């Protein structure tokens, strides 16, 4: 396990990078987030900058830490860090190029949390902006972690960079115990599936300004609807399961197996449906078989606990090159 980690951040919120940073710090690693990722810390005021989703679930959770963020390039030159992480390759490729001379003797993790399905350094976006260049890390100790990975990573052709799948994750403290949960209604108030929202009179617009209210609504509900948004992986999947509710996910069966979310399985920890009528039929069957619902709820809770920020950070550390 690395003793000291340099995590290169950028100013915008990014659910993948920010959840992994949260997990590494929560594991107790010596992590230098540079620049400081202010929105992850409890002292941050959300009024300072609007955050997508009001900062629910992931932000303003870390206590303040005594971190030396000075002289980063000099410390890279002195080989002070055991691991370097680039938080958002689509917005930090230029920074990676600038720092590459000092990244040849240290393991490097490149995070790609975008909804875009392309591997960035193979994309025309990168080529148009930076021209045809060799991959900047030549040591073979670079890992590229991609959320919207559309093919088996063993078949991804890339240069001197090992591609692995990754996913969003949820802080452990957000996962509720299902033993104390009592259900008072069938559906959560907020429904991101327009067809189902219209059929059941649910609200398809974001309606919560309080995270407590949002999670309580999910906990009070037997089911909550979620769908593919910009990409297949969506923080809402994790929020539903962690609140003690069964996720109903539209057309999840169309998702490639290599693409996040990983481990959601129809009739084991979620309901997968094709359209509103299909959902109605499946829920009617579950309503007539109460034991099935409890199995789904238990499965969703196990899945949420297996996809906390700490679990995902620990999984990533296990795939680091050893030499």
Radius of gyration of the chain from its Cα atoms, rounded to whole angstroms:
21
- The per-residue pLDDT for 159 is 59
The domain 4-170+309-318: what is its CATH number?
3.40.50
**Helices 15-26 and 309-318, axial angle in degrees (round to 10):** 80
Work out the average pLDDT over 139-153.
88
Given a contact cutoff of 8 angstroms between Cβ atoms, the answer to whether 250 and 293 are in contact is no
Global confidence as pTM? 0.94
Q: What are the extents of the domains in the chain?
A: 4-170+309-318, 176-306
Start-to-end CA distance of the chain, whole Å, equals 12
Structure tokens at 286: 């579950």
Q: pLDDT tens digits, residue range 177-215?
A: 998 778 999 999 999 999 999 998 898 887 788 899 999
**Tens of pLDDT, residues 255-302:** 999 999 999 999 999 999 999 999 999 999 999 999 999 999 999 999
Q: Is the peptide bond before 261 cis (omega within 30 degrees of 0)?
A: yes
Q: What is the Cα–Cα distance from 196 to 276, expressed in whole angstroms? A: 6
- Please name the fold of domain 176-306: Rossmann fold (3.40.50)
Half-sphere CA count of 289, side-chain side, radius 13 A: 11
């Amino acid at each position: 396990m690395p003793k000291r980690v340099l995590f290169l951040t950028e100013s915008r919120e990014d659910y993948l990078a920010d959840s992994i940073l949260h997990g590494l710090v929560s594991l107790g690693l010596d992590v230098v987030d540079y620049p400081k990722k202010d929105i992850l810390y409890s002292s941050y005021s959300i009024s300072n900058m609007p955050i997508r989703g009001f900062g629910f679930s992931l932000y303003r959770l870390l206590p303040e830490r005594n971190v030396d963020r000075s002289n980063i390039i000099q410390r890279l030159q002195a080989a002070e860090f055991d691991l370097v992480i680039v938080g958002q390759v689509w917005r930090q490729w230029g920074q990676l190029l600038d720092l590459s001379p000092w990244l040849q003797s240290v393991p490097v993790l490149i995070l790609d949390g975008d909804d875009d399905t392309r591997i960035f350094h193979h994309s025309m976006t990168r080529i148009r902006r930076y021209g045809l260049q060799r991959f900047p890390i030549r040591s073979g100790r670079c890992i590229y972690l991609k959320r919207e990975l559309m093919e088996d990573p063993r078949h991804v052709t890339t240069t001197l960079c090992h591609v692995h799948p990754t996913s969003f994750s949820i802080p452990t403290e957000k996962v509720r115990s299902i033993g104390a949960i009592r259900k008072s209604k069938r559906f959560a108030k907020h429904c991101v599936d327009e067809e189902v929202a219209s059929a059941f009179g649910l609200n398809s617009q974001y309606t919560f300004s309080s995270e407590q209210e949002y999670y309580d609504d999910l906990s009070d509900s037997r089911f909550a609807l979620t769908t593919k948004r910009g990409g297949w992986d969506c923080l809402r999947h994790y929020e539903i399961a962690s609140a003690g509710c069964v996720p109903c996910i539209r057309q999840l069966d169309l998702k490639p197996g290599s693409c996040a979310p990983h481990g959601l399985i129809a009739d084991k920890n979620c309901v997968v449906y094709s359209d509103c009528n299909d959902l109605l039929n499946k829920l009617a069957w579950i309503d007539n078989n109460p034991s099935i619902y409890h199995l789904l709820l238990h499965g969703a809770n196990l899945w949420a606990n297996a996809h906390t920020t700490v679990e995902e950070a620990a999984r990533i550390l296990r795939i680091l090159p050893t030499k």
